[in-house]
């Protein structure tokens, strides 16, 4: 008999060799029908995998990320099987589950070029295969046999992957006539896949290397019910409506120019005004929490990033070093702000009385992203981080960490990010080679984050292997209005950079001590944060933040002078307004400015000019009646005061 411990702490005994499905059946028939995969001692596996020792068990349904992952991973194999039947000789690269669905990188046989016209054919074939109810059979295979098998089937990309694997740790999964190199996990069979949709195709270099062959990446998604697919497709339509690239263009917030360079956003006047208000908002909070602003260069000596470890870790993802006229002198576009801030700490002797030292910067950094990965403001090559670094004594770490958590909560409340999850990102349990620093320092840093979350009463799940190379972190995963998850806000505890830069302060014992460094960025990057904010609000920003609060619409050219008089009165009352003095009908002006997400429209004509009033329309609510200009300005001020009184 073996003991199975469940997430609630309860323990049951089962015979050795019991499977996750059998355990689910022992709990309830309904659970057994809904469960898709399980984890045994932290490893997600198929439901028919025998459990032969005492274990902690979690059962995953569709609602769980792990359940979706197994479902979509199996669907990727299903799509590959369909492609193999439709176009024999297709070569396969990799086919993972992703956040929404799955993809497979494939090389169609010579003479075949996949296009969206093939999508219905692929979907029909996938549905035919599902009807067969094929089981997925996992098999351990030797490296030699794997190379032979995939070689005989002409799968050169698979053989390249196999060549890098360690013998004794290679597995395949087979359903029907299709066999794939894979670690899993999967569903036990394809029957639960009730609805499939091939979404798009694109080009992708093999293993992301521009010097390697270009493959066809086929994206798909699947669901256990057709209703869920229909809801997802509706969600996609809404996402298109909210696309920050579309809204950003309509609202004239930002632009890109191939002449300037791919992935280098330029902020237009209205976007700049919005961004600066966000910066001022955070600067005011930071001032209350004792931060000092600094500014550092856009470039730095290559040696700076060699010292910090960033060059070894991110050198290939950075722009190439800049050679100056002086022989042997190399600089780099700044990929990170933290090495510069370490230099600021080190520029003069520090005492324990100086700690904690909190320095903040809206610092622009540069990292090379492949052209195919660039996407609006969310993936760019130059971006500004709302960076800050806290240098503190070891006994101050938890308190400072808690204060940073308070700042992030203020921002989330102010911008209506009400749904979020906290994730504690720790080192990989096995592979420690990719991290720098001592075991002792890592343990202290990880413990500080866990204790801070416990003290704050903040539920947080732990993800192993997601830590930064220099320290563990707490990430905040925000759900937007469409339920999509975005990583916004991060706090990292770092014992290692102070060590690498030999930072020190004089303690109360008159001895030298090493400070601890806390990295934090509540917004993350201004570009990505604004993109998420646009899509979360569909461009309807909070009134205190929006670039244009009021559009004044004269009903004809005769009332332009009065409209500009109203504009001046509003500006004197700190209300942001503009006059739409186009020679268009007022109905057209209303529609156009509502499309630009202007919160308030003021219609002015003969009656309003004679009575020194404005006719008020509110975005999404229509006519609000007639007010004097002073009354309307007070209405705006009161509304903003109510929004911001807690911030």
**Catalytic positions, written as ranges:** 338, 367, 385, 387, 389, 473, 519
In Å, what is the CA distance from 391 to each residue of 79, 164, 338, 566? 52, 42, 11, 51
Q: Are 352 and 508 in contact (CB under 8 A)?
A: yes
Quick one: tokens of 173? 């999964």
Q: Which helix (H) or strand (E) holds 475?
A: strand 473-479
Cα-Cα-Cα-Cα torsion 300, 302, 304, 306, nearest 10 degrees, comes to: 150
- DSSP strand pairing (55-60 vs 2-5): parallel
In Å, what is the CA distance from 48 to each residue of 18, 39, 44, 136, 284? 9, 12, 12, 10, 56
H helices then E strands: how many in the chain? 20, 33
Cα-Cα-Cα-Cα torsion 429, 434, 438, 441, nearest 10 degrees, comes to: -70
Q: Are 625 and 611 in contact (CB under 8 A)?
A: no
With 0-12 / 13-18 / 19 or more C-beta atoms within 10 angstroms meaning exposed / middle / buried, residue 478 is: buried
DSSP 619: T
Q: List, in order, residues 6 or more apart from 511 with CB less than 8 Å away.
A: none
CB atoms within 10 A of CB 480: 18
- Angle value at C-alpha 381, between 380 and 385, nearest 5 degrees: 80
- DSSP strand pairing (11-14 vs 292-293): unpaired
Phi-psi region of 243 (alpha: psi -120 to 50; beta: other; left: phi over 0): beta
Crossing angle for the helix pair 269-288 and 397-414, to the nearest 10 degrees: 140
């Amino acid at each position: 008999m073996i003991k199975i411990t469940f997430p609630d702490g309860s323990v049951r005994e089962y015979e050795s060799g019991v499977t996750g499905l059998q355990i689910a059946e022992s709990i309830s028939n309904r659970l057994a029908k809904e469960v898709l995969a399980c984890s045994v001692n932290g490893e997600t596996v198929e439901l028919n995998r025998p459990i032969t020792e005492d274990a902690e068990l979690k059962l995953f349904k569709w609602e769980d990320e792990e359940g979706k992952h197994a479902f979509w991973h199996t669907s990727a194999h299903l799509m590959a099987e369909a492609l193999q039947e439709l176009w024999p000789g297709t070569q396969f690269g990799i086919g993972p589950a992703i956040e929404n669905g799955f993809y497979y990188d494939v090389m169609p046989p010579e003479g075949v070029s996949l296009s969206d016209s093939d999508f219905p054919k692929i979907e029909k074939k996938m549905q035919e295969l599902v009807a067969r109810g094929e089981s997925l059979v996992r098999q351990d295979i030797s490296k030699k046999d794997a190379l032979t098998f995939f070689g005989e089937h002409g799968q050169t990309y698979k053989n390249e992957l196999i060549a890098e694997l360690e013998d004794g740790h290679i597995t395949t999964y087979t359903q029907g006539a299709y066999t794939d190199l894979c670690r899993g996990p999967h569903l036990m069979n394809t029957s639960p896949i009730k609805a499939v949709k091939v979404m798009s195709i694109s080009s992708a270099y093999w293993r992301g290397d521009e010097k390697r062959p270009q493959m066809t990446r086929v994206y798909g998604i699947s669901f256990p019910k057709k209703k869920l697919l229909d809801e997802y497709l509706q969600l996609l339509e809404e996402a298109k409506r909210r696309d920050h690239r579309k809204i950003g263009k309509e609202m004239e917030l930002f632009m890109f120019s191939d002449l300037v360079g791919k992935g280098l956003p330029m902020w237009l006047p209205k976007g700049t005004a919005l961004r600066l208000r966000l910066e001022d908002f955070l600067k005011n909070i930071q001032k209350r929490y004792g931060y000092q602003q600094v500014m550092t260069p856009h470039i730095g000596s290559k040696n700076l990033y060699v010292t910090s470890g960033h060059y070894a870790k991110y050198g290939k993802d950075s722009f190439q070093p800049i050679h100056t006229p002086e022989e042997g002198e190399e600089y780099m576009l700044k990929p990170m702000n933290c090495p510069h801030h370490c230099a600021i700490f080190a520029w003069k002797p520090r005492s324990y009385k100086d700690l904690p030292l909190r320095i903040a910067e809206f610092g622009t950094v540069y990292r090379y992203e492949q052209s195919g990965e660039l996407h609006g403001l969310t993936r760019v090559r130059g971006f500004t981080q709302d960076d800050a670094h806290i240098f503190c004594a070891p006994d101050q770490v938890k308190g400072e960490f808690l204060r940073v958590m308070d700042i992030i909560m203020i921002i989330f409340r102010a911008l209506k990010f009400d749904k979020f999850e906290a994730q504690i990102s720790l080192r990989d349990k096995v592979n420690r080679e990719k991290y720098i620093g001592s075991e002792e320092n890592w343990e202290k840093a990880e413990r500080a984050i866990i204790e801070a979350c416990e003290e704050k009463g903040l539920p947080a799940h732990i993800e192993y292997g997601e830590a930064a190379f220099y320290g563990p972190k707490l990430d905040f995963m925000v759900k937007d209005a469409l339920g999509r998850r975005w990583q916004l806000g991060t706090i990292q505890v770092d014992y290692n950079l102070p060590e690498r830069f030999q930072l020190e302060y004089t303690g109360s014992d008159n001895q030298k001590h090493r400070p601890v460094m806390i990295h934090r960025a509540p917004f993350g990057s201004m570009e990505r944060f604004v993109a998420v904010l646009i899509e979360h609000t569909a461009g309807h920003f909070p009134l205190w933040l929006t670039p244009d609060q009021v559009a004044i619409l004269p009903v004809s050219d005769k009332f332009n002078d009065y409209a500009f008089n109203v504009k001046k009165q509003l500006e004197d009352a700190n209300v942001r307004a503009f006059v739409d003095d186009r020679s268009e009908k007022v109905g057209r002006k209303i529609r156009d400015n509502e499309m630009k997400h202007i919160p308030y429209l003021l219609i002015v004509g003969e009656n309003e000019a004679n009575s020194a009033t404005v006719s008020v329309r509110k975005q999404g609510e229509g006519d609000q009646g007639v007010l004097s200009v002073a009354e309307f300005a007070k209405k705006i001020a009161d509304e903003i005061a109510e929004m911001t009184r807690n911030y």
